[in-house]
């Protein structure tokens, strides 16, 4: 598997650390109800198809990445820097 | 008063040549991390100007006289070989003692590295002047191409012996393969 | 027998080798199989289950029978395919899977037990009585199971792994592969041509023919010479591409030194990760056997293999050869044999309309229905219509047609397509992105078809790469490939499908009968396709038999999934470089040599090697040294290297704000020159790490992490920064490696420190100051992990060794000295300081009694989640100290004295233990339900593993100097 780091370019999967769904980026505001925290911490979709998840270029530029990929075809359609993400 | 004697990461390690490839510890002088703070790019550019250098683009390094500037990450570079000038707009951190620098040169240098790093080392993909952060086996490393057949490899100082050992083992295997052809 | 004038072996280079204790001669260029056949050795192995005598079936890596052990000076490699292993001077091999000699294998009795060993017998036989399992069945199965044996010693051989990149990867070097490689190579694209065998040419080396007006051999030589001369083409011989993975990544196994006697440093194998922009799969096709009664005797071989042995190795596997084949193409084997002067005793062709032009007896519309010969074929029985007759023969060449080698196209879940014309599966286009199958691998069975499809695919790739090339397609034969599928000949006896796993047509039919109608179920029930050849010889025929038995078509029946690796890959090759020291980097302290000089045993702690203790003359156990070192720190002064702690330099106007966000407590209010202990949570409220952070300047902090979590914390900080506050004025970088840092602790610590500072400083507890030592800029912290007055001195790493030696020498003049990890651990247990033994990922700030450190005045990572119900309160297991008069252990569990010991009554567990010379007792830290309310009570500590059952006193975790007077002295 290969990922195209927006900074470092096309790299082997072994340089990256996998974290989990991009939900971790959507941190509830201070004082949000516990249900929001439960959702943020624990509830995850498991799509057969396009998904977005977080990878860390650990043996590279140390940037966190949002990777859009298809769990069925393994196609990677986008890699974005967390620090410069648009959404 | 203690007399503090400085030692390099691989103090006393003689260069190793095998199959036309040479591995040696390199002394590169001071290493300073320059991490540009938001909005600080202009000030940093100004501060670097007297050195004839600018913040390098991703995956590259540039040299001017004794100074080298090396991209190490988003908004970050290492200034090597000269003392850092006073810089506004950046976090400046001394990294001189944090790294061991190994020089690998010779016709088969890329073949040796291909045993250790998951990078496309073809000259077309990895020309002279390129510097990347990657892995040397399990170790984080910065790898620079300083010549068609010459690389410099930076690893954390505490891992210098492991890096040396693993590169030397790859050199041995590459040299032994070459002996098959004869 | 060897045939004069035939073959590509080098007859000027004879080679001696040994098989089953007997010496033989072969030539350079021989495989072990060809050399044994040249010496008329037909019996080379015993089958897996029934221990039937077996001989060479194929001439390639798909070989199911001729699996041998190769014995080296330092290695013993089982399951080596004799058809792949090249002979070399001094090669020693032996047959395997036998008890006794190969000719008189005692386990051949299994063959007579066959009625009881049919499909699914494991599931039926070893069920009861239950008590028989451990005593009888398991040892029995273990003895009989598995193929070959290992030496039982470490494999000291060198293995290699490597990475390669190319524009075009060509897999296979037959006509299709050579044409593709030449086309891409001439365009200037970077080409890797991977060939499994030891020379390029593929079937052209066996089949000959004419290409572009040249004999095939000459054409191959010309192309090879051109490829070798192209600097952009890399030829990888003896390299099998074993797997296709995501995004153009391929695994490949190269047999680097297996064809030579061992040489120092020469890798035996190399496992390559090849990344290709485009890939041409030109892996050819595999000929398939026909199932008929007793079709497994030594001497019965694939027709194409017989032709390969003849034309490539100059060997005829028999003196009177017969051919049983259902294609016109297979007749070439008989013609080549006759041309070489070998007697062909008959051609048996099941097609009633087949031609018969050969100068030997040809029986059309006939089938082989049986064979004779105990340890090797002596005769076959042929049925033609109502008539049955025998033909004396010592070699039967058989062919049931060809299966395209589609395996790699299935590695990413691609399903192959059934072709009625070929009676075979062909690749689904696009099954592996970037890979195009050509030639026989894609069902183009003629030489012209191979050349043309290889050429066309490469041209498209060259075009996609933005390159140009002009290359003519040479002319070659384009005979149509026609066959009438023949999978199995009807008969009463056992007809083998899977030679390697001893699966017969009967087994497959039985599986269908018993309800295992799905091909995946049949496979698992019969074990068909689960042997080292992974069903390469049997898959399609087996599912044809299954289709027949279940009344379905083959396409409908489907095929099992081909998965990597295509050929067996030794674990040693896949994990090359990862053995022993290569498993993980070793991190060495600057004090490493100084510690070793003092005889300190080094222990690994998070990749670092740290001194365990510093033995003194007269001390015979580690405990004596540890007790002495603890007392030394409590009464005088000790020096320890603490450089392994993670150090992160944090700068910027928002640095304090950032620390406030990642720590539970507040750092933005910390005065410059002061240090504060900080607690860091994960977002789920559990403790992530702890450590001290110093404020070095207005916008400049130095964070310390634990050794174990240094990398984890860095990753966490990167995430928090990049995800939630990327626009803040803050930047940080690891300086762990930049500073060597030494703890100086004990009542005499201040005197020691002041003895070497250029200007002595008066630091308050939890203070930090820049200092100069011998002209070097250093940092002095007043912090303590021991409970004594303590300092940590940091110097640039290059000076670490010198400073350590100096500090230790000074300490020794004051009645102190160095202390190791063991003493460090006891000191911190006495003081109730936690490590990752305590903050192991399931504890909250409340659990460790630090809930007051979670500031109510600000937001921070983990704060909200820590308030969730169930994460605080008396039902939680809380940090306590434990004291006992007898030895206790970490990992023990805690119970109320007098209650039964089981899971339901479990009250907690012990995380750290040490003998405290200071307290004169065994001390422990652990977690106990509602522990803080139980201080002063007794608990029962039970460790079944170590046989410990002790009553302990529950204590405040801070045993030593609970008021902290010594720290602040």
User: Where in chain B are the domains?
Assistant: 16-28+98-181, 31-94
Q: Residue A23's closest chain C neighbor by CA? A: C723
Report which of C819, C853, C830, C793 is spatially closest to residue C921, judged by C-alpha positions: C830
Backbone angles phi, psi at C171, to 5 degrees: -105, 110
Q: Could you tell me the pLDDT band of residue C968, with boundaries at 50, 70 and 90?
A: confident
Backbone angles phi, psi at B121, to 5 degrees: -100, 5
CATH number 3.40.50.300 given to C159-286+404-464: no
| Rounded Cα–Cα distance for residues C530 and B64 (Å) | 62
Q: Residue A11's closest chain B neighbor by CA? A: B119
Interface test with A, best of B127, B135, B136, B137 (most A CBs within 10 A): B135
pLDDT surpasses 90 at C969? no
pLDDT surpasses 80 at C455? yes
C354-403 pLDDT, tens digit per residue, is 988 889 999 999 999 999 998 999 999 999 999 999 999 999 999 999 99
Backbone angles phi, psi at C631, to 5 degrees: -65, -40
pLDDT surpasses 70 at C801? yes
The pTM assigned to this predicted structure is 0.95
Query: Of all residues in chain C, what percent carry a pLDDT higher than 70?
Result: 97
- Contacting partners of chain C (3+ CB pairs under 8 A): A, B
Q: Does A30 touch chain C (CB under 8 A)?
A: yes
**Span C927-937, average pLDDT:** 97
CB-based contact B162 C581, cutoff 8 Å: yes
User: Is the omega angle on the peptide bond into residue C252 within 30 degrees of 0, that is, cis?
Assistant: no
User: Where in chain C are the domains?
Assistant: 10-116, 159-286+404-464, 291-399, 492-557, 587-643+738-828, 646-734, 873-969
Pairing of strands B31-36, B76-80: antiparallel
Backbone angles phi, psi at C731, to 5 degrees: -140, 145
pLDDT surpasses 80 at C131? no
Q: Does B181 touch chain C (CB under 8 A)?
A: no
Q: Sort out which chain A residues have CB atoms less than 8 A from C246's CB and list them.
A: 1-2, 13, 74
A2-84 fold: Folate-binding fold (3.30.2270)
Q: Is the dihedral of CA C720, C726, C728, C733 positive or negative?
A: positive
Output the average pLDDT for chain C.
94
The CATH-assigned architecture of domain C587-643+738-828 is 2-Layer Sandwich (3.30)
Structure token pair of residue C311: 């034309």
Q: Look at residue C176 in the predicted model and tell me its pLDDT.
A: 98
Task: Please report how the helices C519-526 and C505-513 are oriented relative to each other, as an axis angle in degrees rounded to 10.
Answer: 120
| Rounded Cα–Cα distance for residues C740 and B6 (Å) | 12
Task: Please report how the helices C303-313 and C331-339 are oriented relative to each other, as an axis angle in degrees rounded to 10.
Answer: 30
Interface list for C 172-201 with B (CB within 8 A): 190
CB-based contact A63 B74, cutoff 8 Å: yes
Q: Residue A76's closest chain C neighbor by CA? A: C247
pLDDT surpasses 80 at C822? yes
C466-507 pLDDT, tens digit per residue, is 999 999 999 999 999 888 899 999 988 999 999 988 999 999
Q: Could you tell me the pLDDT band of residue C129, with boundaries at 50, 70 and 90?
A: low
Q: Does A11 touch chain B (CB under 8 A)?
A: yes
- C512 torsion bin: left (phi>0), alpha (psi -120 to 50), beta (else): alpha
Q: Does B132 touch chain A (CB under 8 A)?
A: yes
Q: What is the ipTM of this complex?
A: 0.99
Q: Is the dihedral of CA C792, C793, C794, C797 positive or negative?
A: negative
B120-156: b (≥16 Cβ within 10 Å) or e: bbbeeebeeebbbbbbbbbbbbbbbbbeebbbbbbbb
Interface test with C, best of A60, A63, A82 (most C CBs within 10 A): A82
Q: Could you tell me the pLDDT band of residue C141, with boundaries at 50, 70 and 90?
A: low
CB-based contact B120 C275, cutoff 8 Å: yes
Q: Look at residue C632 in the predicted model and tell me its pLDDT.
A: 98
| Cβ-contact C243, C269 below 8 angstroms | no
Residue A29: DSSP 8-state: P
Q: Look at residue C759 in the predicted model and tell me its pLDDT.
A: 86
Of B118, B120, B133, the CB nearest to A61: B133
Q: Does B158 touch chain A (CB under 8 A)?
A: no
Query: Of all residues in chain C, what percent carry a pLDDT higher than 90?
Result: 86
Q: Sort out which chain B residues have CB atoms less than 8 A from C267's CB and list them.
A: 173, 176-177
Pairing of strands C53-54, C45-46: antiparallel
| Cβ-contact C352, C364 below 8 angstroms | yes
pLDDT surpasses 90 at B36? yes
User: Where in chain A are the domains?
Assistant: 2-84
> What is the number of alpha carbons within 13 Å of residue C84 lying toward its C-beta?
27
Distance from CA of B10 to the nearest CA of A (A): 23
Q: Look at residue C121 in the predicted model and tell me its pLDDT.
A: 67
pLDDT surpasses 90 at C417? yes
Neighbours of C915 (CB within 10 A): 18
Interface list for B 41-70 with C (CB within 8 A): none
| Rounded Cα–Cα distance for residues C953 and C937 (Å) | 6
Of B73, B118, B141, the CB nearest to A14: B118
pLDDT surpasses 60 at B182? no
Q: Report how far Cα A59 is from the mean position of its chain's Cα atoms.
A: 17
Interface list for B 69-128 with A (CB within 8 A): 72-74, 118-120
CATH superfamily of C291-399: FAD/NAD(P)-binding domain (3.50.50.60)
CATH superfamily of C646-734: Aminomethyltransferase beta-barrel domains (3.30.70.1400)
C239-272: b (≥16 Cβ within 10 Å) or e: bbbbbbbbbbbbbbbbbbbbbeebeebbbbbbbb
The CATH-assigned architecture of domain B16-28+98-181 is 2-Layer Sandwich (3.30)
Q: Which CATH number fits domain C873-969: 3.60.15.10, 3.60.40.10, 2.40.30.110, 2.40.128.50?
A: 2.40.30.110
C253-309 pLDDT, tens digit per residue, is 999 999 998 888 999 999 999 999 999 999 999 999 999 999 999 999 999 999 999
Q: Could you tell me the pLDDT band of residue A86, with boundaries at 50, 70 and 90?
A: confident
Distance from CA of A39 to the nearest CA of B (A): 32
Q: Residue C430's closest chain A neighbor by CA? A: A73
Q: Residue A9's closest chain B neighbor by CA? A: B59
C-alpha torsion C676→C682→C683→C686, nearest 10: -100
Q: Look at residue C395 in the predicted model and tell me its pLDDT.
A: 98
Question: Picking from C139-148, C351-360, C624-633, which range would have the lowest pLDDT averaged per residue?
Answer: C139-148
| Cβ-contact C522, C542 below 8 angstroms | yes
| Rounded Cα–Cα distance for residues C871 and C854 (Å) | 14
| Cβ-contact C641, C634 below 8 angstroms | no
B85-136 pLDDT, tens digit per residue, is 999 999 999 999 999 999 999 999 999 999 999 999 999 999 999 999 999 9
The CATH-assigned architecture of domain C10-116 is Roll (3.10)
Backbone angles phi, psi at C550, to 5 degrees: -105, 5
Q: Look at residue C125 in the predicted model and tell me its pLDDT.
A: 62
**What CATH code would you report for C492-557?**
1.10.10.1100
Q: Alpha-carbon Rg of chain B, whole angstroms? A: 17
C841-863 pLDDT, tens digit per residue, is 999 999 999 999 999 999 999 99
pLDDT surpasses 80 at A66? yes
| Rounded Cα–Cα distance for residues B21 and B142 (Å) | 20
């Amino acid at each position: 598997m290969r990922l195209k780091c927006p900074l470092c370019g096309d790299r082997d999967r072994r340089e990256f650390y996998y974290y989990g769904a991009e939900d971790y980026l959507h941190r509830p505001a201070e004082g949000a109800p516990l249900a929001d925290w439960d959702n943020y911490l624990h509830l995850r979709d498991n799509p057969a198809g396009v998904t977005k998840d977080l990878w860390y270029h650990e043996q590279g530029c140390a940037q966190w990445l949002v990777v859009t990929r298809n769990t069925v075809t393994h196609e990677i359609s986008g890699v974005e820097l967390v620090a410069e993400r648009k959404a | 008063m203690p007399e503090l004697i400085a030692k390099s990461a691989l103090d006393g390690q003689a260069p190793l040549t095998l199959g036309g490839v040479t591995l040696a510890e390199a002394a590169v002088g001071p290493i300073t991390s320059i991490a540009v703070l938001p909005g600080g790019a202009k000030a940093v550019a100004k501060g670097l100007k007297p050195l004839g250098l600018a913040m390098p683009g991703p995956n590259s390094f540039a040299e001017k006289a004794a100074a080298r500037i090396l991209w190490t990450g988003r908004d970050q570079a290492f200034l090597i070989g000269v003392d850092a000038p006073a810089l506004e707009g950046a976090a400046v951190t001394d990294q001189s003692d944090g790294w061991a620098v190994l020089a690998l040169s010779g016709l088969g240098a890329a073949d040796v590295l291909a045993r250790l790093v998951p990078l496309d080392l073809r000259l077309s993909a990895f020309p002279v002047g390129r510097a990347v952060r990657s892995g040397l086996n399990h170790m984080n490393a910065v790898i620079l191409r300083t010549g068609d057949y010459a690389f410099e490899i930076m690893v954390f100082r505490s891992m210098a012996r492991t890096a040396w050992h693993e590169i030397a083992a790859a050199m041995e295997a590459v040299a032994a393969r070459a002996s098959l052809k004869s | 027998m060897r045939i004069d004038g035939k073959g590509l072996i080098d007859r000027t280079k004879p080679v001696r080798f040994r098989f089953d204790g007997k010496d033989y001669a072969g030539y350079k260029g021989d495989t072990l199989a060809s050399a044994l056949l040249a010496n008329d050795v037909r019996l080379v192995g015993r089958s897996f289950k029934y221990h039937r005598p077996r001989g060479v079936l194929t001439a390639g890596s798909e070989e199911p029978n001729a699996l041998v052990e190769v014995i080296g000076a330092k290695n013993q490699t089982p399951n080596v395919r004799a058809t792949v292993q090249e002979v070399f001077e001094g090669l020693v091999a032996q047959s395997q899977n036998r008890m006794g000699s190969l000719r008189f294998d005692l386990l051949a009795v299994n063959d007579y037990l066959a009625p009881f060993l049919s499909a699914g017998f494991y599931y039926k036989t070893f069920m009861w009585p239950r008590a028989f399992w451990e005593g009888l069945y398991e040892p029995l199965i273990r003895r009989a199971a598995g193929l070959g044996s290992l030496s039982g010693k470490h494999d000291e051989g060198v293995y290699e792994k490597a990475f390669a990149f190319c524009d075009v990867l060509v897999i296979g070097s037959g006509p299709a592969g050579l044409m593709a490689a030449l086309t891409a190579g001439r365009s200037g694209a970077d080409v890797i041509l991977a060939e499994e065998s030891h020379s390029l040419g593929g079937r052209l080396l066996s089949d000959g023919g004419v290409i572009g007006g040249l004999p095939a051999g000459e054409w191959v030589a010309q192309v090879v010479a051109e490829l070798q001369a192209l600097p952009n083409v890399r030829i990888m011989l003896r390299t099998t591409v074993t797997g296709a993975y995501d995004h153009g990544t391929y695994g490949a196994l190269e047999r680097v030194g297996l064809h030579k006697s061992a040489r120092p440093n020469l890798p035996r194998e190399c496992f390559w990760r090849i990344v290709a922009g485009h890939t041409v799969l030109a892996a050819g096709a595999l000929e398939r056997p026909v199932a008929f009664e007793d079709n497994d005797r030594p001497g019965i071989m694939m027709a194409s293999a017989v032709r390969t042995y003849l034309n490539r190795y100059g060997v005829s596997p028999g003196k009177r050869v017969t051919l049983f084949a259902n294609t016109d193409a297979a007749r070439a084997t008989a013609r080549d044999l006759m041309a070489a002067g070998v007697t062909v005793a008959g051609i048996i062709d099941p097609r009633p309309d087949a031609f018969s032009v050969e100068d030997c007896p040809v029986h059309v519309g006939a089938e082989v229905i049986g064979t004779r010969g105990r340890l090797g074929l002596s005769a076959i029985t042929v049925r033609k219509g109502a008539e049955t007759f025998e033909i004396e023969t010592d070699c039967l060449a058989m062919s049931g047609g060809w299966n395209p080698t589609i395996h790699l196209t299935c590695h990413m879940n691609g399903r192959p397509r059934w072709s009625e014309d070929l009676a075979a599966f062909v690749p689904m286009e696009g099954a592996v992105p970037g890979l195009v199958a050509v030639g026989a691998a894609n069902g183009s069975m003629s030489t012209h078809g191979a050349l043309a499809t290889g050429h066309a695919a490469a041209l498209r790739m060259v075009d996609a790469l933005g390159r140009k090339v002009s290359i003519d397609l040479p002319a070659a034969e384009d005979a149509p490939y026609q066959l009438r599928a023949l999978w199995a000949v009807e008969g009463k006896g056992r007809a083998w499908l899977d030679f390697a796993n001893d699966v017969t047509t009967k087994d497959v039919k039985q599986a269908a009968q018993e309800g295992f109608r799905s091909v995946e179920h049949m496979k698992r029930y019969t074990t068909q396709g689960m042997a080292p050849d992974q069903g390469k010889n049997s898959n399609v025929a087996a599912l044809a038999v299954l289709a027949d038995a279940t009344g379905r078509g083959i396409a409908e029946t489907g095929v099992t999934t081909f998965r990597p690796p295509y050929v067996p890959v030794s674990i040693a090759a896949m994990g090359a470089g990862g053995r022993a020291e290569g498993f993980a980097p070793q991190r060495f302290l600057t004090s490493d040599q100084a510690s070793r000089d003092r005889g300190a045993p080094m222990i690994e702690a998070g990749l670092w090697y740290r001194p365990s203790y510093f033995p003194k003359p007269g001390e015979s156990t580690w405990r004596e040294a540890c007790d002495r070192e603890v007392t030394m720190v409590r009464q005088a002064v000790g020096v320890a290297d603490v450089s392994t702690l993670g150090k992160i330099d944090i700068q910027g106007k928002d640095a304090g704000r950032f620390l406030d966000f990642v720590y539970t407590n507040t750092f933005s209010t910390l005065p410059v020159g002061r240090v504060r202990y900080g607690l860091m949570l994960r977002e789920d409220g559990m403790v992530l790490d702890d450590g001290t952070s110093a404020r070095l300047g207005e916008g400049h902090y130095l964070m310390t992490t634990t050794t174990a979590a240094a990398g984890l914390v860095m990753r966490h900080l990167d995430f928090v920064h990049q995800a939630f506050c990327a626009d803040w004025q803050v930047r940080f970088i690891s300086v762990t490696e930049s500073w060597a840092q030494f703890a100086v602790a004990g009542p005499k610590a201040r005197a020691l420190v002041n003895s070497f500072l250029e200007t002595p400083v008066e630091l308050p507890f939890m203070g930090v100051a820049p200092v100069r030592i011998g002209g070097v800029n250093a940092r002095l912290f007043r912090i303590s992990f021991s409970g004594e007055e303590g300092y940590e001195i940091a110097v640039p790493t290059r000076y670490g060794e010198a400073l350590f030696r100096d500090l230790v020498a000074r300490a020794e003049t004051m009645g102190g000295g160095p202390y190791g990890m063991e003493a460090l651990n006891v000191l911190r247990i006495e003081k109730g300081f936690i490590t990752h033994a305590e903050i192991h990922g399931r504890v909250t700030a409340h659990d460790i009694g630090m809930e007051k450190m979670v500031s109510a005045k600000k937001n921070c990572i983990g704060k909200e989640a820590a308030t969730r119900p169930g994460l605080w309160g008396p039902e939680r297991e809380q940090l306590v100290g434990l004291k006992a008069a007898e030895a206790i252990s970490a990992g023990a569990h805690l119970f109320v004295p007098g209650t039964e010991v089981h899971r339901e009554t479990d009250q907690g567990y012990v995380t750290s233990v040490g003998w405290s010379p200071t307290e004169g007792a065994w001390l422990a830290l652990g977690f106990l339900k509602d522990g803080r309310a139980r201080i002063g009570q007794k608990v029962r500590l039970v460790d079944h593993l170590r046989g410990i059952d002790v009553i302990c006193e529950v204590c405040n975790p801070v045993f030593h100097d609970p008021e902290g007077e010594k720290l602040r002295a």
